[in-house]
Structure 1
Amino acid sequence: MRDPREIKYMIPLLEAESEDVRMHIRSSLREYCPFLEEILSQLGLDLSPEQQYQLHLIQHEYLSESLSQSWRRILSAGGGMHRLEMVLDFISNMQVDEYPYQPIGRQLDEIAQEYRRVSAVPDPIELSRFLFLHKGYRGARDDYDNPLNSNLCYVINEKKGIPISLTSLFILVSRRLGLKIDGVNLPGHFLAKSAIGGSTIIFDCYNEGRMLTPGELAQQFFTPAVDFVALLRNPPTLMDIAKRVLRNLNNAYDRRGNLEKVQLVEMLLEHTEPQNYPIRVVDPAQEPFFKPGSLVRHNRYEYRGVIVDVDPNCMADDEWYQANLTHPDRMQPWYHILVDDSKATTYAAQSNLELDDSLQEVNHPLVPFFFLGFENGRYLRNNEPWYWKRT
């Protein structure tokens, strides 16, 4: 790093008439990051509003680039669900200006050790009672939109969070005890599940770990567009969870008008898209997650639409498939979609789609030909055969 005393001579040149000079100075000052703010404080300079703004931009750009590089390393790393811990630790560290950061791994280790002291045998039900009754972790009902509810340091210490952060806590502690607990990715809610004695038990971590059977889950969270059997067979991947955490965070910052944090989170979301990283390892035998009439949204291109037909795998020819920029696995369900506010029909892989819970109808000229009506956020498919098949 260059001599920090040079900074006081550089600062006035941030307002130089020449753009070339200003660019050179910004580049030179960036070399002092991440210590620039501390150095400026020690120098005690009297900064003009324009100089303060330019220095803020330099530090923000450095932070964005550093976060981007760290995020991409995490998403590219191996280690299965261990990366979930890395993702959540990253988010806690990213919010260090809002809440003190501590490595979450150490805190999770301590919780697991405390559980072992009170329970000799690892058991999902006992762990749920330990966390949500004995330890008192609960849903953040009073400040649900607080961005810190996505920060696992905050959740662990304040003992409250949103469904996905509490479920992630449950999952990560369970892994330390040798238990297998997975997520259940519902529209508007996030739960946990575990196989116990040959049966599947659902845990609602936001509601004190309340237990449900699959039948009770389907009855309580009935959504016509969701196939609950497929939902339970195909738990969310790391990428699914990471994107949902980021979207929660993005919405929370947006509601608070924190534009800089919104931009940071949107940048991370962009790096989480499927063209850069595989979203899901697909089981060729898996059943279609979506049904005809389901509203969906493409997780790369962001268009929404209604599913009109389903293929068990990609039926397109090799030339069409190679032209597809995302190259998702062919051996998974593929869907024919009527795209909202257009005359277009698309063909997309299951791994590139997510449920659209907007409950808004789709504006497409073919909707009346293939659907009887629209009820409870889902179209009712008629018996008209879908005539457009890729061959």
Structure 2
Amino acid sequence: MDWDAAPATLRFIEEIALGDSMRLDVAAMAIAAHAYPGLDIDAEIEILDRIASHPMLHADGFDALGLAQYLFASGEFIGNSAGYDDPRNSFLNDVLSRRLGIPISLAVVMMEIGRRVGITLVGIGMPGHFLVREARSAERFFDPFNGGKQLDEDDCREHFQAIAGFDAPWHPAFLTPVGPREIILRMLTNIQQGAMRRRMPEAIWSARLRLLIPGLAAQEIRQSADVLGGFGRHIEAARALEELAAVLPDDEAALITIESNGWRAQAN
């Protein structure tokens, strides 16, 4: 079967095509199915349904703070600080079974449980650390990785500077909500970067999935092409660059064509 025709890939393509209406849990689980061929995506998603069915989550007055406390302060899900680079932290099926994850995967859990119980949450793609915010409040943030702690903007800034350095410039735009497309792209980027460090095959399929996301920036296309070429998929790398060159101005296209020709030469 061609890679593009694999069931998990087709499921991913279907969800990504929905844009802002995509189901984040389905898209994330379709990613995981590439690490676990044959994974029953719908059965895994039912785990989220079961978590969300707990009566406490449907009590009158139950809110985002209560959800953060239920999921994270209680230890139901934990930020895997001891094994941060474990690839399983990025696969939603593993996060649900192990109850361990990194900031963005735990944020997806919180957002999807919230959606099921009527609490609308948005992802906050702050550089270096992913957070969650109530959709109706621009002041109330949550840190799933650190016990679901509630934060305000000053707390977020302090956390950012603790990661990036206290002289790193802070921009309020860092707390702008990101849509499901950006969340999925960031998840794939995490997988790709980790796999590249370990020289693992996840780098190949994560690069391929990135290239399937509509509207991918030219630099991101080049990065994924470089990953494919670096793992011996020279023709795939060349084709990705050729498709990019076809939509660029002539001067930029000429440079991309040189790169694509280089990958084709290595395939011979």
TM over 0.5: yes
Cα pair 1:64 1:264 within 8 Å, conserved: no
CA distance in 2, matches of 1:108, 1:119: 18
For residue 256 of structure 1, the aligned residue among 198, 207, 212 is 198
Contact 2:106 2:145 survives alignment (8 Å): yes
Q: Which AA in structure 2 matches 1:139?
A: G
1:155 CA displacement = 0.8
* Residue equivalent to 1:90: 30
**What TM-score results when the alignment is normalised by the length of structure 1?**
0.50
Between 211-220 and 108-117, report the one with greater CA deviation.
108-117
Aligned counterpart, 1:160 = 100
- SS of residue in 1 equivalent to 2:69: helix
Distance in 2 separating the partners of 1:94 and 1:161: 18
Q: Pick from 174, 177, 182: which aligns with 1:231? A: 174
Quick check: 1:75 aligned with 2:16?
Answer: yes
CA RMSD across the alignment: 3.1
Is 1:186 matched with 2:126? yes
> Does 2:186 align with 1:244?
yes
Number of corresponding residues: 222
Query: What is aligned with 2:114?
Result: 174
Match of 1:218 in 2: 157
Change (3 A) 1:200 1:129: same
Contact 1:136 1:159 in 2 (8 A): yes
2:18 is aligned with 1:105 = no
CA contact (8 A) 1:167 1:183 kept: yes
Structure 1 residue 227: deviation in Å?
1.8
Alignment correspondent of 1:203: 142
How has the CA–CA distance of structure 1 residues 75 and 138 changed in structure 2, closer, same or farther, with 3 Å as cutoff? Answer: same
Equivalent AA in structure 1 for residue 189 of structure 2: R
Q: CA deviation at 1:225?
A: 4.8
Partner SS state of residue 141, structure 2: strand
- Structure with more of its chain in helix, by fraction: 2
Contact 1:183 1:191 in 2 (8 A): yes
Structure 1 residues 29-69: Cα deviation after superposition (integer angstroms, max 9, x where no partner): xxxx5xxxxxxxxxxxxxxxxxxxxxxxxxxxx34542544
The one-letter code sitting in structure 2 at the alignment partner of 1:236 is: V
User: Shift in Å at residue 102 of structure 1?
Assistant: 6.3
Check the 8 A contact 1:129/1:209 in 2, yes or no: yes
Is the Cα–Cα contact under 8 Å of residues 246 and 265 in structure 1 kept in the other structure?
yes
Partners of 1:122 and 1:178 within 8 A in 2? no
Give the CA deviation at 1:73: 1.9
- Name the structure, 1 or 2, with higher relative contact order (CA <8 Å, separation 6+): 2
Give, as a single letter, the amino acid of the residue that structure 2 aligns with 1:247: T
Q: Does structure 1 retain, via aligned residues, the 8 Å contact 2:52–2:113?
A: yes
User: For the structure 1 residues 74 and 199, does the alpha-carbon distance in structure 2 shift closer, same or farther, using more than 3 Å as the test?
Assistant: closer
CA contact (8 A) 2:9 2:30 kept: no
More strand by share: 1
- What whole-Å deviation, never above 9, does each CA across 1:330-373 have from its counterpart, x for those lacking one? xxxxxxxxxxxxxxxxxxxxxxxxxxxxxxxxxxxxxxxxxxxx
1:68-125 Cα deviation digits (max 9, x unpaired): 4433222113662x42112112022222259886633311111111153684433000
Whether 2:73 is the aligned partner of 1:133: answer yes
Deviation per CA, 1:14-42, whole angstroms, max 9, x where unpaired? xxxxxxxxxxxxxxxxxxx5xxxxxxxxx
AA of the residue aligned to 2:185: K
Q: Structure 2 CA distance, aligned partners of 1:204 and 1:139?
A: 10
Percentage of pairs with the same residue:
24
Aligned-partner SS, 2:178: coil
The one-letter amino acid of 1:187's match is P
Alpha-carbon separation, structure 2, partners of 1:115 and 1:236: 30
- Between the aligned partners of 1:100 and 1:73, the Cα distance in structure 2 is 16
Q: TM-score, normalised by structure 2?
A: 0.71
User: 1:152 touches 1:165 (CA, 8 Å); kept in 2?
Assistant: yes
The structure that has the greater radius of gyration is 1
Specify the SS of the correspondent of 1:221.
helix
Go from structure 1 to structure 2 and tell me whether the alpha carbon gap of 1:248 and 1:214 turns closer, same or farther (over 3 Å shift). same
Identify if the C-alpha distance between structure 1 residues 195 and 266 changes in structure 2 by more than 3 Å, giving closer, same or farther.
Answer: closer
Where do 1:117-128 residues align within 5 Å? 119-128=59-68
Kept in 1: contact 2:124–2:130 (CA 8 A): yes
Separation in structure 1 between the aligned mates of residue 152 and residue 107 of structure 2, nearest angstrom: 17
